[in-house]
Amino acid sequence: MKLIIVIILLGVFSQQAFSYPDVKEKGYLRIAVYKNYAPFSYREKGKLQGIEVDLGKLLASKLGVDPLIWAIGADENMEDDLRNTIWKGHYLGGGTADVMLHVPVHKDFVENNGHVLIDNAYFTEQIVAIRHNSYASIPLLKLFGNNKIGVELDTLSDFYLVGAQGGIFSDNVLHYAGVSEAVQAMLNGDVTSVVAPRSQIESALSGLRNEYLFSDVTMPLSYQAKWVVGMAVKDGRHELMFELKKALNDIKVSGELANLFKKYNISYSKP
């Protein structure tokens, strides 16, 4: 069967998620990824690409069906995204996906989202701080105290830095619409450091990565500076999740998963 890849934006037309036998019968797997989320899923010259776009295609291929990639916009929180994308659908329409990628795999989060099954971890993300190698000798907290810090607005990095150490860094925190904008501000000299997920910083830096020092950021446990990423399907679709697990395992063992991160020049951290 000739591989047909259809890229569909939220709301173009209604689709419905299926159980595994229905996925096989229909001949395609509808995979939800976040839009404007480099390096995982983003558009370049009009084409949707990224690590998780490619991963979705590989998963569908292992299941013997076509990939139908659905680029979704993020809502206020992950619970809203799961509701809109997996188990209920958005009130504006668009249907639901068979599987959603880039979902946190965490015991408490899983237990608090009973409408979905969450499993199949494939990557570990971590919040890091970055600064130019010329600042490498300065302790991180001293750097934060004396220089401007770039963060994406209303993110974990933002909440931490504004409240850390009794708020002593808050006046130095500058907010940006995204990580790429914060990194560009650092390149322009507007901020000295950026705090954000490592993968997004690496993507924004591209070929300049070796000129910058990456440092772990120590946060209280409640902030969870490191987390595991996996996938979600609607509750009750255990067979589909199991088949996706087998497919993902094949992709891991073959080295294809690590190669996807290498393709986009992103460090791969196993879950």
Q: For 77-128, give the DSSP string.
A: SHHHHHIIIIIS--TT-----SEEEEEE--HHHHHT-TTEEEEEEEEEEEEE
pLDDT in tens, 97-152: 999 999 999 999 999 999 999 999 999 999 999 999 999 999 999 999 999 999 99
Q: How far apart are CA 72 and CA 24, in angstroms?
A: 24
Work out the number of other CB atoms within 10 angstroms of the CB of residue 248: 21
Work out the number of other CB atoms within 10 angstroms of the CB of residue 215: 15
193: pLDDT confidence band, cut at 50, 70 and 90?
Answer: very high
| pTM given for the model | 0.89
* pLDDT computed for residue 6 by the predictor: 41
* pLDDT computed for residue 20 by the predictor: 86
Please check the confidence at residue 1 and state whether its pLDDT lies above 50.
no
Q: How far apart are CA 174 and CA 151, in angstroms?
A: 6
Class of domain 6-124+228-263: alpha beta
Cβ(33)–Cβ(102) below 8 Å:
yes
- Per-residue pLDDT, averaged over 50-57, amounts to 98
* pLDDT computed for residue 4 by the predictor: 41
CA distances in angstroms from 98 to 22, 54, 116, 257, listed in the order given: 10, 16, 11, 21
Q: How far apart are CA 69 and CA 79, in angstroms?
A: 21
**Which amino acid type is present at position 68?**
L
Average pLDDT, the chain: 91
17: pLDDT confidence band, cut at 50, 70 and 90?
Answer: low
Fold type of domain 125-223: D-Maltodextrin-Binding Protein; domain 2 (3.40.190)
CATH 3.40.190.10 intervals, the chain: 6-124+228-263, 125-223
Q: How far apart are CA 41 and CA 39, in angstroms?
A: 6
